[in-house]
Amino acid sequence: MIKRSINIRGNLFEIQKPLVMGIVNMTPDSFFDGGNYNDFELAKIRVDKMVSDGAEILDIGGYSTRPGADLIPVEEEWKRIKDIVEYTSINHKNIIISVDTFRSDIARKAFELGAHIINDISGGNYDRHMFKTVSELKMPYVLMHIRGTPKTMMSKTDYNDLLPEIIDYFKKKIDLLYDLGALDIIIDPGLGFAKDYQQNLDLINNLNLFQIFELPVLVGISRKSFVKKKYGEDKTLEGTLELNKIALKNGANIIRVHDVKENRELIK
């Protein structure tokens, strides 16, 4: 039985139907929309539009995790996101705010400003305090699968057996989080992160295997390079919708997207 609710600051939020998580990149160098919205005024317009288009969750990030991305200081990451986290918290009280970070200091500061969820691409690998922090704060936590770092991950696609290895990774980390007192975990197989073209497609087609954990599953397919490779440079939206359709049929509960309106229509 899949867990159908998450605890948001003491209130249960029911996941009765698939949810759309809109991507708000406050970075100059993200792979698709880097630099388009990293100005506060432009970001406010982006947030307001995503809400009106039907996003239930907004995922705000200040650190590009595209392949080959460089490290930035924690102060710079926080400076990029703090105003838009606060704006969203004040102006869109019914929206769940997710912060895309692997740093526990950012997680704590974001929580204090009104954020609800931490979306950690590193699965706790880059900051040894992250699991303890989200468990203490009782924040729902998106646990993603990755190998290496954004700079090295595409050289780490040599799995003996992809699906069992990812399932084993999740099992160990879920046990650790629960031992620390975490309340809510969402799992993300990490499409595009240390996975080659065929491995990404295999994961989407076998997404139902992750229901073994009885936890909500999030997928981030939107406009990634394997979508371009399969559908062509000028068909990344159509390709994203096609692959999200397969993911939804195979049990995805949350789809993380750049194009909220079109993906909301897909769910309908």
Instruction: Spell out the long-range contacts of 163-167 with Cβ–Cβ below 8 A and sequence spacing 24 or more.
Output: 163/202, 163/203, 163/206, 163/209, 166/190, 166/203, 167/209, 167/210, 167/212
Full residue range of the structural domain in which residue 187 is found: 18-267
Q: How much is the pLDDT for 149?
A: 85
d(CA 26, CA 36): 8
Q: Which of 80, 103, 147, 224 is catalytic?
A: 224
pLDDT value, residue 84: 96
> Within the chain, how many helices (H) and strands (E) appear?
9, 10
Catalytic residue among 80, 82, 256, 264: 256
pLDDT tens for 1-18 read 677 789 998 889 989 899
- Per DSSP, the residues of 179-195 read HTT---EEEE--TTSS-
- Residue pair 64/34 in contact (Cβ under 8 Å)? The answer is yes
- Say if 119 falls within a structural domain: yes
Q: Is 118 helix (H, G, I), strand (E, B) or coil?
A: strand
Confirm whether 67 is domain-assigned. Answer: yes
Query: What's the pLDDT at 31?
Result: 44
pTM above 0.75, yes or no: yes
What is the tally of structural domains in the chain? Answer: 1
**pLDDT score for 37:** 58
268 included as an active-site residue: no
Is 117 part of a structural domain of the chain? yes
Q: Looking at residue 158, which CATH number applies to its domain? A: 3.20.20.20
Q: Is residue 246 part of a domain?
A: yes
Q: CA 66, 154, 177: angle at the middle one, nearest 5?
A: 75
* Alpha carbon distance 207, 217 (integer Å): 9
So what's the pLDDT on residue 3? Answer: 72
Residue 13, in any domain of the structure: no
- pLDDT tens digit string along 128-176? 999 999 999 999 999 999 998 888 888 999 999 999 999 999 999 999 9
Active site residue 224: yes
Whether residue 11 is contained in a domain is answered as: no
Question: What proportion of the chain, given as a percentage, has pLDDT over 90?
Answer: 83
What does the alpha-carbon distance between residue 208 and residue 206 come to, in Å, rounded to a whole number?
5
Q: What is the pLDDT of residues 28-86, one digit of tens each?
A: 754 444 445 568 899 999 999 999 999 999 999 998 877 766 788 999 999 999 999 99
Whether residue 170 is contained in a domain is answered as yes
Tokens of 46: 């982006």
In a domain? residue 5 = no
